[in-house]
Amino acid sequence: QQQVKQSPQSLIVQKGGISIINCAYENTAFDYFPWYQQFPGKGPALLIAIRPDVSEKKEGRFTISFNKSAKQFSLHIMDSQPGDSATYFCAASMTDAGNNRKLIWGLGTSLAVNP
């Protein structure tokens, strides 16, 4: 049961274009939505995150858009660069019944930015 659905699985964008990756969740108990970036041979690294009380968060060329009513959130990479080529994971976090923070991951999107 995949609680966080991520699309597309892969994405090819031209340099300077906008990359958009979408995620949808089901459980309204999620209260923190991070995006991770993973380069080949490296572990995932926290890129940007948002809480459901805001609709948008921007950090440089990276923006998260959050739609609470639709239970969807997306990552926008403006002016995409070849150095942005990586796998991107969305995730959703909540406190479970045992008072543990649980992180549910999307399956990832492989982004290739052509020069």
Partner 1 sequence: EAQVTQNPRYLITVTGKKLTVTCSQNMNHEYMSWYRQDPGLGLRQIYYSMNVEVTDKGDVPEGYKVSRKEKRNFPLILESPSPNQTSLYFCASRTGGAYGYTFGSGTRLTVV
> What is the contact surface with partner 1 in residues (CB under 8 A)?
32, 34, 41-46, 49, 89, 93, 98, 100-101, 103, 105-108
Q: Extract the tokens encoding 45.
A: 């690294």
CB of 52 to partner 1, least distance (A): 13
Based on C-alpha coordinates, what's the Rg of the chain?
A: 14
CB of 42 to partner 1, least distance (A): 6
CB 75 within 8 A of CB 21: yes
> Three-state SS for 30?
coil
Nearer to partner 1 (CB atom), residue 13 or residue 91 = 91
Nearer to partner 1 (CB atom), residue 46 or residue 54 = 46
CA distances from 108 to 29, 69, 71, 89 (A): 22, 23, 18, 4
Nearer to partner 1 (CB atom), residue 17 or residue 26 = 26
